[in-house]
Structures are given as structure tokens and as C-alpha cells.
Amino acid sequence: MALLTQDESKTIIQNSIWQQNAALGQFLGLCPVLVISSNIVNGVSLGLATSLVMLISSAAIACIRSLVPNELRAPIFILIIAALVTMVDLLMNAYVHDLYVVLGIFIPLITTNCIVLARAEAYASKNGVAQSALDGVMMGLGLTLVLAILGAMRELVGKGTLLSGIDLVFGAGAKSWVIHVIPAEYNYQFLLAILPPGAFIGLGFLIAGKQALDRRAETKAKLAAKLALQAVAA
């Protein structure tokens, strides 16, 4: 017997990346989404760190779910999450120190990111280890996707670049990887997009876009069902 059937994993992935996307469907964990999404590199880095924490924490919590007394579950979950975040914090400090300095307080704050605890509470404490691990990491990657798109939008509108700050991750040699969509000599800058209002406006457009796509799919499905009914009747 497989730990995880193909259908099951497909449902989990679809659910986590699209239907219940942390930022666009559940509106959870918005504080780091809004602050850190000023460019792709920051957004994706924090998103991946969150995904890693969610992968391990969901799996760990699913492992011990039958041993946890119901009344004490919140402190126990938080303890596990906090221990994992501390490890990620130390790892990032050691290996990507420049990026660590830029992300600052938002790495330790992954502990309090409500999407991590929400998945522990709503999913990992009720489901098997494999399902929970997949759910955790996919929720994290869904968040990372939003952070990447929002970061790209804000960076593009705000500074006319993509992937700025990539040298913080891959060393000074990566400086030339930065894509200047608007050539650097124009000194293009639109501060609003980089500042917090840009994050709110950008997130608003993303949420509206997701809902528009959902609505279109819904009408299409309804139309198809109607046509199928007519075909049966005929």
C-alpha cells in the first residue's frame, strides 16, 4: 500500500497552490507577504524558508498527533515550529549571511506566521505523515509563488529591474544576473511600488485576478454541465 495515492496528492497540491492559497485564498500570513515582497529574491528566499519549516513541522506534528493532549496542542505545536525556525535562522545566518541581514526580523517571525500554525492545527493534527508533509510544503510553495509574483511586480514597477539583490544569495559574482528591464542609465524609480502601499495595491490586484479566473472557470463549468444535460435530453 502506497503512503500517498496519486489522486490524493493531486488534490492536496491543487488545494494548497490554488484553491486555498495562503495569501490569495485564506489571507493568512500577510504581514511578511506585504513587507518582504519588495523584490523577487527577498520574497522567494523567505517563501522557501517558510516552506522548509512547514514541511518539517507538518510532518513532525503528524507523527506525534496521537500523543498530544488536546488541551496542550497549541503550545506543543508552537514549540516544534519555534525550534525549527531557530534552526533555519542559524542555517541562513551561516550560509547566506548577507540575505539574512536583509530579511532580518522576518526569519524569526516565521514562528508566528499564522499559516504555519493554521496548517498544523487544521491539517497535520488530523492526517497522516505523508499527506501532512506534502500539504505543508505545498502551502509554503503556494505562498512562495505569491511572494515571487508580487516581488516581481513591485520590483519591475518600482525600479525597472528583476532579480535585484541576487548577489546576496549567490555571492558577488551573481551581480551581473540582475535583469534591467528599463536600462539602468535612465535612473527609473517609482517609489510607491517599493513602499508598503505598493504591496497592498499589488496584493489587491493579485486577489482580484485569482477571483476573476475562478469565476470564469465556474461559468465555463456551468455552461458545460448545461450542454451535457441538453445532449442527454436530446
109 vs 201, which CB is nearer to other proteins? 201
Confirm or reject binding of residue 190 to other proteins (CB under 8 A): yes
Q: What is the DSSP letter of 28?
A: -
Q: Name the burial class of residue 123, with classes exposed (0-12), middle (13-18) and buried (19+) by CB atoms within 10 angstroms of its CB.
A: buried
Q: How far apart are CA 15 and CA 42, in angstroms?
A: 25
Total length of the chain: 234
179: part of which helix (H) or strand (E)? strand 179-180
If you search the block for the grid coordinates 479566473, which residue do you land on? Answer: 213
Closest separation in Å from C-beta 190 to other proteins: 6
8 Å CB contact between 85 and 111 = yes
Binding mask 85-104 for other proteins (x = CB under 8 A): --------------------
Q: How far apart are CA 46 and CA 60, in angstroms?
A: 21
- From candidates 64, 74, 191, 212, binder to other proteins by CB under 8 A: 191
177 vs 188, which CB is nearer to other proteins? 188
Confirm or reject binding of residue 212 to other proteins (CB under 8 A): no
- From candidates 64, 182, 195, 217, binder to other proteins by CB under 8 A: 195
192 vs 217, which CB is nearer to other proteins? 192
- From candidates 87, 181, 192, 217, binder to other proteins by CB under 8 A: 192
Closest separation in Å from C-beta 182 to other proteins: 14
Q: How far apart are CA 178 and CA 33, in angstroms?
A: 22
Q: Which stretch binds other proteins (CB under 8 A): 107-115, 140-148, 169-177, 195-203?
A: 195-203
CB-CB neighbours of 20 under 10 Å:
20
Q: What is the DSSP letter of 125?
A: T
Confirm or reject binding of residue 229 to other proteins (CB under 8 A): no
The residues binding other proteins (CB under 8 A) are 189-192, 195, 197, 201, 204
